[in-house]
Structure 1
Amino acid sequence: MKQKIQIPETIKSLNSKGNVHRIVLSGMLLFFIGNNSDVFGQVKTEQDTLKIDQRPSLVAPSDANNQLKSDSEDKNATVALDFIDRTVAAKEAFYQKTGFKIGFDYNSLYMGATESLGNNNHTASGIARVYGRWDLIGRGTNSTGGLVYKIEHRHAYTELTPSQLGFEIGYAGSLHPLYSDQGFRTTNLYWRQSFSKGKIVAYAGFLDSSDWTDVYALASPWESFNNLAFSVGSATIGGLPDGTLGVMASAWLTDKVYAIASITDANARATDIFKGFDTFFNDFQTFKTVELGVIKSKETAFVNNFHLTFWQIDESNYYGSPSGWGINAAATVFVGGKYEPFLRGGWAKDGGSLYQTSVSAGLGYYMGSNVLGIGLNWGQPNETTFGGKLDDQYTSEIFFRWQVAHQFQLSPSVQLVANPALNPNSDFIGVFGLRSRIFL
């Protein structure tokens, strides 16, 4: 018989998220505002543009810039709608004239579990998002500067939200980290600047740490796996704030080696981002990351990728979480133009993470615009976070992303949890999900 462990109050509200010296921040800010002759030029001639050394983005598929690019691509959908194609073309023409690009999507998620500790085992929620960019400097080149934004409204359809369902069924983890009832929030509002023909990219403003930390092609919880164990950090990274004031810089060191570094506010509140000016500069409790990666080629940067990620977070006054640090490793390869096996894992020392040790392995199978994903995870709950030693957990997930129409996706999923650490009455629980995304 398992010993019943009380769930800490801070964990029940985990979905709200919650020392490198100041010289690090100062250095990164100086780097960000440094002069570069390419940045301040206007649109270059066709001959100059052809000489640009195009570099792949080093941020997640769900980053606002990558999401815009993905939304506009030909989906080879089951149902073709000509008027949608005309809408995409009109948006692109408007961007070419003004440098302003906007995207909108509406996301829904239903989850139902075979049992729970309480009375609720069904949950549903929705998220509306407006996101985009406004290129103000160097438009039409690969050394551009401009604003990036993403504003959301997260709302519940039921009393329980999907981000709470894990603890409701006694699972010491996150079945989905995003779907809550937080209301309006600002995930992104920052300046993006590229240097040296795209070899260096820097962000400054209100950021989402998950956009660049330990990402891979199947990292997006909007379109790929639901469970955090198969997403950024394999559930071993504490903090991962969004709507957080800070800076990030990524650079291609060679054609096949890259580096990313960041420092952001550990007390960030995406529902009230401007509080960040007070908490960042006065409390200076921060979340830091450094990542080194190797790729096989620029064209397959995210599917043939090997990287190490180091992170550290200070004690948070706002969230009450302890300081901590950790390391993550990931390997992803692309086989036969269709198969993407991956192996990912991490280890944490405190920091408020869900797991102190976690290993995930799985496979993505690409069928045009449709994707099948299968993942298996072993996770050891963080003793500091949960206030005691818990049994190891085993989780699996399978999802299928079906591109029904050019702007409409449906993703059924099944998650199987063996040995749920917070449920003394069960050895096995199934969770069934259906996610939809409509975007323009």
Structure 2
Amino acid sequence: VWLVILTQGCSSETAELDISDNYPPVLLTKETSYIAGDNITLRFKANQNTRGVLVVKNALGSSLIEPVVKDSILEFQIPTSYSQKAGLSHWEFVTAKENPISGNLQIAPNTEKTTLIESYLGPRSIIAGNIDYSMFIIVPTDMFDNTFTNGTEVTVKHQFEDTISQNIIEIENLVAWTTIGASEKAGRLLVTASCNTTDSKELTSLVYPSNAIDFTISSKRDHQYADGNQIISFSSSVITDQFNNTISDGTLVTFIIADKAGNLLQTSGITINGIANAKLLHPVKEERWQITAYITGVAKSNTLTIDFKAAVKDYPVTFSDENRTLFVGPIKSFMNQNIPDGLEVQLLIYNSQNKLLETKITTSRNGMAKFELSPDFFANGHYNLKINSAGISKNITVDLK
């Protein structure tokens, strides 16, 4: 009898041990949705002989996690680098004997704590009108640098002069964006954004005047004589764009001058407060100028016609040293004063067959110009000389000795 009782007792204890030692692991944690930064622990019930690891995969990569065993409970603490990363995390409990158990964790961005905003604006300079614009891009993130979900609202404000505008946009594909169009008036455009009570930094876009439109020019001079000494000044009107904005300082305006012979002269100036100024010396002979100003490829002015009277009517030519030294002058200007120093005087020397031998150029000093015809270069004989100055030409035949 004792043997039977002992045998039955042993058989019952063995059956209970078999049941407790062979059941498969069971997931006890039912929660699958979390907020970034939450403490995430996965708990499994397993027999004491179960040995396994938890494989966690997300956008960062994969990790193996060892359990903390408490009686028959296995606890796996998800690393903070994984629990702080929003998105889908996949886990798999792997043992040596049982089939793996797997599941997913959905981690949402943490919108309850600090919101960070990165914002970008460009281009930072646009042209006045209804065509150009700056694009404003906003990337709100949580404190763990997770971008927010689609549909999250972002408030955009922009200010121009006395007007502040506000509109609400939504995040789509990680970013929120909008365009800020240029006004018809030049000035400074300020832009900012806010999300979850967090404000972005202030960004600035400059609205510059549009392309210039045609303008007018005028001239100013002290007298109308072509003395090659005085300065004539050219000025533009206030140059504006089509919206009446004064064009930007530093815009280059080129003044093109055509003379009677079709030669082109050029002077230029840059705009200050919309006005360009340029200067040029008077011509040295009677002349008519046609002046037109241009902003290259954009706008042009009216055409001015300016006449210059001859300042020099005539000049004498004398010789000395057996015609080897030639004097031009005194050259007198419009009030019978000596012409200012620096007037160009040209001498062309031809032989008796009218072949050009040499061209000499000098400038006047105290109303006089001087040329030397050295015997080392010019042998004795007949020569034809032509003198050009102040638009007056003289032809002289001389015998050099």
Using structure 1 for the length normalisation, give the TM-score: 0.13
Structure with greater proportional helix content:
1
Of structures 1 and 2, the one with the larger relative CO (CA 8 A, separation 6+) is 1
Using structure 2 for the length normalisation, give the TM-score: 0.14
